[in-house]
A and B are shown apart, each in its own frame.
Chain A
């Protein structure tokens, strides 16, 4: 058993690993992460996850619901640490998996992956408690600086394949669209049962489903008859390929300083998250029901409206932006005609918010010629065709919603108490 495998099995059992092992791991992770671009390219299929926040047992539940690494490809959109009681174990486990299966798991940076934030929201304290010195915290913070700022998921499928291991009878019993209709969104619970399905290009009956708050508000874009468009061009109706277009994943959102995905490549990301500027915005911004840009109540990043998202997606041939950063009680929330989605993966946040969590599965487009080389929004495309072409349909999306892990088998979650006290 290699050191790494041993570390993985210890961490899976929620045990801390010795300081030298942490150092070793961080060092290896750094070597890997330095090779990643600011925006990592990830091929579908992939499962996209939002904030974890040190809720180790819920992370285990996530793996149970979504499939284990390396069988399932994962993309975690940051905020691994703080608030929960097991930031260290959660982050180190993810890092171990990254080092062990570099192509199977992608980690990008969240606003909590920062020295300043972790000293306030718990990770620093946790390291001090668990190791008695700040060394481990330092090692981890060093790794934070190397984490990519975003990811671009390519080769997604517009259609959803049935989830593996699903009971066909249960499926048949669903009052859901069947037959030829293409399913755009499918929601499953943690028992691998489909709870809702929504066909493409139809006003979705969310209100009737009692899920008004969760998925898309409504698809206002014109009905299309053919399969969804490829991402390669704006007017993609009727294209033969079955691609769901490219999906940009960032922790927070967009920045007024970033017009195209390629501009992210020009940032020097190896630094503490700044208080302003493009890098800060990517990690701190939030979508909001406003026009254009707005000041963020968080004191960092911006609020951005539907027009911004649609324009950005159009300019960059994106079908969807996936982001995390905001607690949503239903685990996920699509906004702005499904042009952006918030994915939240920390159930019962802070052990008391009572929310459920979700992960987003994007399937792989297996049709021949389905993978279209994309042009990275180089600004050559003229604006103003937005209305004409309509929005790219977006990939088929399967949300798996799950609740907090059943009890920790070894007791109640709690912080590690102070070992000795002098005063």
Chain B
């Protein structure tokens, strides 16, 4: 086999990426060589750290669809269907391997030539059937229509792309734009606009990269200013792009290539968001995003390794003479870097933060958080949240150290920020940050298939978890302990001080929002730190304080307070319930039901949901307490049957027999004779008399009422409860014991998170509970994505981006260029994933959204939207 070029076997440093679950997974860094083994040509990558480990060994075939993107990236699809990418450190290395690949492919093609006449690439080798006339004002119309015909077929698109590049066709078009403008020839300008649109939508990476280069960009966007869809308008793209003041060069960037990259990235963004916003099809959108993503990663990677640059950048903050605006820009610059860093693979991000911290990132945060300018504070909390998201234990370690050095720890700053901050956005961010810092890493997440699957694909995460399990855990533990010892009472002081304020009137706006945050943090704590938080909350007598807020003027604060108690009850922890009953805290809740009763408003619904939960879960102490103390009140509430059912439950628990309370039992539909006799002797057995069907119902179903269920049960003979009831009463004792253990005594010890989570899932309140099972890494990968087929929303798409807690979500406000661009080389995801099984789609052909494969694109528009 004669090769035109010798295989490049000097080593090229390269990163190997593999597309897994729509994320580019970093297989590692190593050295790349091309080799000919026998009559096969292969690309090898050997690991940098362990030279005997092969990161990649792939045979080059003629139809793997190798693509070179930018100067340093080669992307292809393995014969197994896996998408791979090699990201070279040096452009020359990339070029060498690329030459090797192309030549191997050409040889293969030539060999296959005669019997593979259909291959259009092979055809291209013989003759390019397409040619375009040199553009002139007179033939623009023809060129446009020719192109329109050509792009109708995938082959046509391919040859057109090749021709445009080899001919440098765009450069020939650029002068025509000015000519047509000078002549005010609108028709020609419209033709030019159409031509440019078609060229961009060819979706060829090389073309797209070319159009944003200095030489042609103005011509291209100039033509695109004259959109025939808007014949009476002219856009001002050139003016916008020429405005150099938009580029904030906080510290001069010496490397010209990087600087160039910054500009072209910005142009790509502008192209994506403004110039082409309406006309972009999804594949082109993905290509633009992927270009932007790789550019940004390159830029940030370059900068974070540039010591001189970093010193100058961070020096601005420490420089007492630097003007305010310059400091602000420096903070915003760092904020931008951190936002982009979210999309970088973990090891790269690790180095970035390490370098930043070494240069004084935490000083920057301190500076920003205490700054008088609220926009700087916003940026500061953003950076902090990004850093905590990246690695909370790192931040905890830092705080720990400052505690040991008896310096003011960051936690205190955050608490102060939350307590006194006027900017509500900063306040919210501070509250989020506190929660994340206090999140124990180790609540054993339920063996959730989804997380398992994701984790197992991510060895970095696993190793991180292992490390954490070994070392970080005691640290988190003492961190949390330290919080309760030193900070918690400071944080919740305003709540505690409510004791002196009765009745609660004249809450200021700031206070209302503060109380909301505090209660939300408290809800978080009682879920995550079962024991410590309980001790603290009882010591401080917080439930009674929060109950005061149940009667305040502000309905949304009442609502938050209600939710706190709902959370307490949801824990099914006797001590919380005792607190509530002892202090008669159900009274204000019932009062809310009363005051809102005729109306069917949100407060009312939340109260009803609370009592429905008590009924459904048969939370006996609550039923006992409420019925014993407020029976009349309950009886008066007749517009829903929840409260009657509670009374009924209570009476059953008391073992009232049928004669004593026939009216109530007659409601009980099936009037089962076993019921009373079993019951009569056994107090406290309320729940046990449920038949299996009913029990299953209460365990699974949410929103149906007892009555309806019983009716349903009687209608379905297979589920009739008579038989099981009888059978059950014979073997009742062991069951009873088990259940009472489970239901009551055992709660404290056996309450673990699994149960919490299971409950949460049951209850519909899931999203307000921080999702413990979401590994921290995943959260970071919160990314903007746009799939080829995104006419349809799939919650499944989001499953990998599931954020910790939606209602308290700490979406760090990344600067927009960062937030848009990530993770773009991705496949369309089938309808798999997400907690639910799905039927459709999993067998659907996965389409690649990488550059260039324009052939099959553009279809798949579904009828679904919204």
Subset of 25 A-B contacts with CB under 8 Å: A35-B555, A35-B602, A37-B601, A115-B811, A120-B798, A133-B425, A135-B425, A137-B811, A279-B764, A295-B840, A297-B792, A297-B831, A299-B797, A299-B833, A327-B864, A353-B861, A379-B707, A412-B235, A413-B277, A417-B274, A421-B266, A421-B269, A423-B265, A423-B303, A423-B333
Residues of A close to B701: CB separation below 8 A: 257
Is A259 positioned at the interface, with any CB of B under 8 Å from its CB? yes
Comparing B6-14, B619-627, B800-808, B848-856, the segment that makes contact with chain A is: B800-808
Assuming the contacts A115-B809, A299-B794, A423-B300, asked whether A326 and B278 have C-beta atoms less than 8 A apart, the reply is: no
Judging by beta carbons under 8 Å apart, are A270 and B764 in contact? Answer: no
Interface residues on B, range: 35 or more
Q: Which of B601, B609, B797 contacts A268 (CB 8 A)?
A: B609
5 pairs of A and B residues whose beta carbons are closest in the complex = A327-B865, A299-B796, A37-B600, A272-B806, A135-B425
Judging by beta carbons under 8 Å apart, are B277 and A418 in contact? Answer: no
Complex CA gap A270/B561 in Å reads 13
Within A262-304, which residues are at the interface with B (CB < 8 Å)? 262-263, 265-280, 284, 286, 294-300
Is A51 positioned at the interface, with any CB of B under 8 Å from its CB? yes
Within B811-857, which residues are at the interface with A (CB < 8 Å)? 811-817, 819-820, 831, 833-841
Q: Which of A120, A269, A346 contacts B605 (CB 8 A)?
A: A269
Judging by beta carbons under 8 Å apart, are B230 and A407 in contact? Answer: yes
User: How many whole Å from A38's CB to the nearest CB in chain B?
Assistant: 5
Judging by beta carbons under 8 Å apart, are B704 and A265 in contact? Answer: no
Residues of A close to B279: CB separation below 8 A: 351-352
Comparing B244-252, B437-445, B488-496, the segment that makes contact with chain A is: B244-252
Q: Which of B556, B763, B799 contacts A30 (CB 8 A)?
A: B556
Complex CA gap A421/B267 in Å reads 11
Judging by beta carbons under 8 Å apart, are B704 and A117 in contact? Answer: no
Judging by beta carbons under 8 Å apart, are B784 and A423 in contact? Answer: no
Assuming the contacts A23-B424, A263-B704, A268-B765, asked whether A326 and B865 have C-beta atoms less than 8 A apart, the reply is: yes
Is B240 positioned at the interface, with any CB of A under 8 Å from its CB? yes
Closest to B261 in A: A423
18 other contacts beyond A269-B602, A275-B835, A277-B766, with CB at 8 A cut-off?
A: A50-B866, A120-B784, A133-B378, A259-B708, A268-B566, A271-B765, A273-B767, A275-B767, A276-B761, A276-B835, A297-B831, A298-B831, A326-B863, A344-B865, A351-B278, A412-B278, A418-B816, A423-B262
User: How many whole Å from B361's CB to the nearest CB in chain A?
Assistant: 16
- One digit per residue, 1 when the CB lies within 8 angstroms of any chain B CB and 0 when it does not, for chain A 391-418 equals 0000000000000000100011111111
Judging by beta carbons under 8 Å apart, are A300 and B836 in contact? Answer: yes
Q: In terms of DSSP, what is the predominant structure of the interface of chain A?
A: loop
Is A4 positioned at the interface, with any CB of B under 8 Å from its CB? no
- One digit per residue, 1 when the CB lies within 8 angstroms of any chain A CB and 0 when it does not, for chain B 581-614 equals 0000000000000000001111111101110100
Judging by beta carbons under 8 Å apart, are A417 and B278 in contact? Answer: no
Is B654 positioned at the interface, with any CB of A under 8 Å from its CB? no
- One digit per residue, 1 when the CB lies within 8 angstroms of any chain B CB and 0 when it does not, for chain A 109-126 equals 011101111011100110
Judging by beta carbons under 8 Å apart, are B230 and A411 in contact? Answer: yes
Complex CA gap A415/B270 in Å reads 9
Is B637 positioned at the interface, with any CB of A under 8 Å from its CB? no
Judging by beta carbons under 8 Å apart, are A35 and B765 in contact? Answer: no
Is A350 positioned at the interface, with any CB of B under 8 Å from its CB? yes
Which of B799, B841, B864 has the most A CB atoms < 10 Å from its CB? B864
Residues of B close to A412: CB separation below 8 A: 227, 229-230, 233, 235, 278
Judging by beta carbons under 8 Å apart, are A411 and B274 in contact? Answer: no
- One digit per residue, 1 when the CB lies within 8 angstroms of any chain B CB and 0 when it does not, for chain A 61-86 equals 00000000000000000010000010
Judging by beta carbons under 8 Å apart, are A135 and B794 in contact? Answer: no
Within B238-281, which residues are at the interface with A (CB < 8 Å)? 240, 246-250, 262, 265-266, 269-270, 273-275, 277-279, 281
Complex CA gap A298/B277 in Å reads 26
Within B603-649, which residues are at the interface with A (CB < 8 Å)? 603-606, 608-610, 612, 640, 642
Residues of B close to A419: CB separation below 8 A: 246
Residues of A close to B820: CB separation below 8 A: 125
Assuming the contacts A119-B784, A267-B703, asked whether A36 and B601 have C-beta atoms less than 8 A apart, the reply is: yes
Is A132 positioned at the interface, with any CB of B under 8 Å from its CB? yes
Judging by beta carbons under 8 Å apart, are A298 and B795 in contact? Answer: yes
Judging by beta carbons under 8 Å apart, are A299 and B861 in contact? Answer: no
Is B768 positioned at the interface, with any CB of A under 8 Å from its CB? yes
Q: Which of A85, A266, A413 contacts B609 (CB 8 A)?
A: A266
Residues of A close to B702: CB separation below 8 A: 257, 277-278
Q: Which of A111, A271, A296 contacts B767 (CB 8 A)?
A: A271
Complex CA gap A418/B240 in Å reads 11
Residues of A close to B835: CB separation below 8 A: 275-276
Residues of A close to B300: CB separation below 8 A: 423
Which of B246, B640, B702 has the most A CB atoms < 10 Å from its CB? B702
Within B338-397, which residues are at the interface with A (CB < 8 Å)? 340, 375, 378
Judging by beta carbons under 8 Å apart, are A111 and B811 in contact? Answer: no
Residues of B close to A89: CB separation below 8 A: none
Closest to B829 in A: A299
Complex CA gap A416/B817 in Å reads 12
Closest to B236 in A: A411
Is B336 positioned at the interface, with any CB of A under 8 Å from its CB? yes
Residues of A close to B277: CB separation below 8 A: 85, 351, 413-415
Complex CA gap A327/B270 in Å reads 29
Judging by beta carbons under 8 Å apart, are A257 and B235 in contact? Answer: no
Judging by beta carbons under 8 Å apart, are A119 and B782 in contact? Answer: yes
Judging by beta carbons under 8 Å apart, are B841 and A379 in contact? Answer: no
- One digit per residue, 1 when the CB lies within 8 angstroms of any chain A CB and 0 when it does not, for chain B 111-151 equals 00000000000000000000000000000000000000000
